[in-house]
Each structure stands twice: as C-alpha cells, then as structure tokens.
Amino acid sequence: MIDFEAIINNVTLFHKIYDVIRIVDPVEKEVLYMKKNQNLDVSNIVKSTCYGFWSSGRVCENCISMRAQTENDVFVKFEYVHSRLYLTTAYPLETPYSKYVVEIIKDVTQSELVSNSTEQKEQDIFMNIMSKNRHIITDELTALFNKRYFNEKLPYELINNNLKGFDCAVLMLNVDALLNINHQYGPTAGDYVLKEIASILNECIREDYDWAARLDKDAFVVYLKNIQISDLNRVCEKIQSQVNACSFQYNANTLPVTISIGASHICSSNTCSVEDILKFSKNLLLEAKTEGHNNYVSREVTQ
C-alpha cells in the first residue's frame, strides 16, 4: 500500500505556497489523496473525481495531469471557478505500483490578474482562460481536436465505458490520395480538403457526445460513445455518403476526394489496451484502402 500522506509531507515547501495538494490517477480521473490549506473552503468541491474541483460536471478538455503522466514532465494551467482564479501545477509521480500525478493548486485571486477587478473584467479573464485551454487541444487548420487531446482523452473514454457498460467505437479515417491533390493543385488545395472533411465529420457525429480529432496530415479519428455495431456501420456510410456528395471545388477545379475508414467496435466488457485497439483500427483502415479506397471496414475488436 502506498503512503500518500508520507509522500506529500516530504514536500514541505508546498505546504507554505499552495492551498491544495492532491495525488490523482489521471486515467481513472480519481483523487487518491488530498490535503488542503485550513483556510480554503472546499464545501462545494466534489472530492472523488479530479475534475470535480472545477465544478464543471465533466472531464477537463485540457487535462495537464494526463499530459504530465504521458510526457513525464511538469505542466501548468489556470482555471477560473466561483469567482476564484486557480493556478494548477501537475508533476509526474512514480511509485512501485503505478504512475500517478501530484497536483499543486494555488488560489491566485488576490494577484494583480484579478484583484480589484470588475464583473466584466472577471468575465474577460474567464473567457481568456477558456480560450487558451481550448487552443492547446485544437488543431489549428481544421478546428477539430488535435492529437494531444486524442492521446489524453481516449484512455479515459475506454475505461469509463467499461465501468458504465457502454459499447463504443473508434474510427480511423484517411483521405485517399491527398498527396496527389497537393502535387497537382498545391498544398492550399489539400488544406481546403482537410477543412471540408472536418466539417463533414462534425455534421455526422452527435454534438457534446462523440468527438473527432485530426491525428496527422491526412488522418482523422472519430470516437463514438454508447453505440452498437449496426449503428456504427450507418455512421460510416453517412460519412462516406456526405464526402461523395460534396463538390470539392477549388479555384474552378473539382477535386477528386474520397476517404477510407477502419472502424473498430469495442464492447463494454472488452479489456484490450488502447494500443491494441488503435492497432486493430489501423489494420482495418489498411484493409479498406487495399480493397480500392472509398471504402470502409468495420469489425468487433477481439480480446
């Protein structure tokens, strides 16, 4: 058993500088240990989940603790809740049993950022923080989520679905022959295609329930929550149908755009790792492209 209190007590400097020190499991989103400054009111804080501190009712999009764990580095961010501004620092923590994260949270409301501020200024601060947090996880070209968000969010989604008994799906998508389009019409034509594909993906998924991300130059991923394999096939067909129906016009040229999809269905009892599921999805995508492009292959992920 890990003595979390002993770990925290060894870091005596933190007690003088910060208001909350806690150890979290960023994948499970669980608070394993928390110690707070006596003067800090935490009566409204949900202590069982790490995101409960921010009273958002949902997992943080910009999860610096997940980033600290996966990249083995220190990350910081601001959050604004209940008219209080907090600075959070996340440190990776290695133990004999697993890898966790130490979060150091400081109320910096009395700093020059917020002190003596008007209600409008506080709202501006909140919007600015939200914008910056969103920017970190957004693909600049397509405005979809980026690879960082995908790497941080997918492990949690899979565990959460397993706990709640939900089936889910991961779709790997590739724009066929995008390199040829870039060579023939220029890279800005390829950018136009990617933005149009991103728009189609957003139209084909459920808002605030599913999500899509751009992984690489011509590669996308879609995550579908609580979905049966028959419905998964319909989503794949809808995406391809809308891409095929779209007139990709660029500088008076009609661009030949198709996509291939590898769609993995994951039942709620499946315990495969994220790596296994991604490998399975990539193999399905390769199979779809091998069969002649403009195609999709969907299959249940086997244990």
- Phi-psi category of residue 222: left, alpha or beta, with phi > 0 → left and psi -120 to 50 → alpha: beta
Q: What pLDDT, on the 0 to 100 scale, is given for residue 189?
A: 96
Residue bearing the bigger pLDDT, 34 or 168: 168
Domain boundary at 136, 161, 187, which? 136
Alpha-carbon span 77 to 86, nearest angstrom: 8
Is pLDDT above 90 for 48? no
Highest mean predicted confidence (pLDDT) among 40-49, 90-99, 120-129, 241-250: 241-250
Q: Is residue 201 part of a domain?
A: yes
Q: Report CA 165 to chain centroid distance, whole Å.
A: 21
**β-bridge mates for residue 107, sequence order:** 86
- For residue 83, the enclosing domain spans 4-136
Q: Is residue 38 part of a domain?
A: yes
Q: What is the pLDDT of residues 164-203, one digit of tens each?
A: 899 999 999 999 989 999 999 999 999 999 999 999 999 9
Q: What pLDDT, on the 0 to 100 scale, is given for residue 12?
A: 46
Domain boundary at 99, 117, 136, which? 136
Kindly report the CATH number assigned to the domain that includes residue 109.
3.30.450.20
The average pLDDT across 50-70 equals 85
- Please choose, from the candidates 35, 18, 33, 24, the residue with its C-alpha nearest in 3D space to the C-alpha of residue 91: 24
With bands split at pLDDT 50, 70 and 90, how would you rate the model's confidence at 42?
low
Is pLDDT above 60 for 46? no
Examine the domain organization and report whether 152 and 118 are in the same domain.
no
Q: What is the pLDDT of residues 74-107, one digit of tens each?
A: 888 888 887 788 888 898 888 777 889 999 888 8
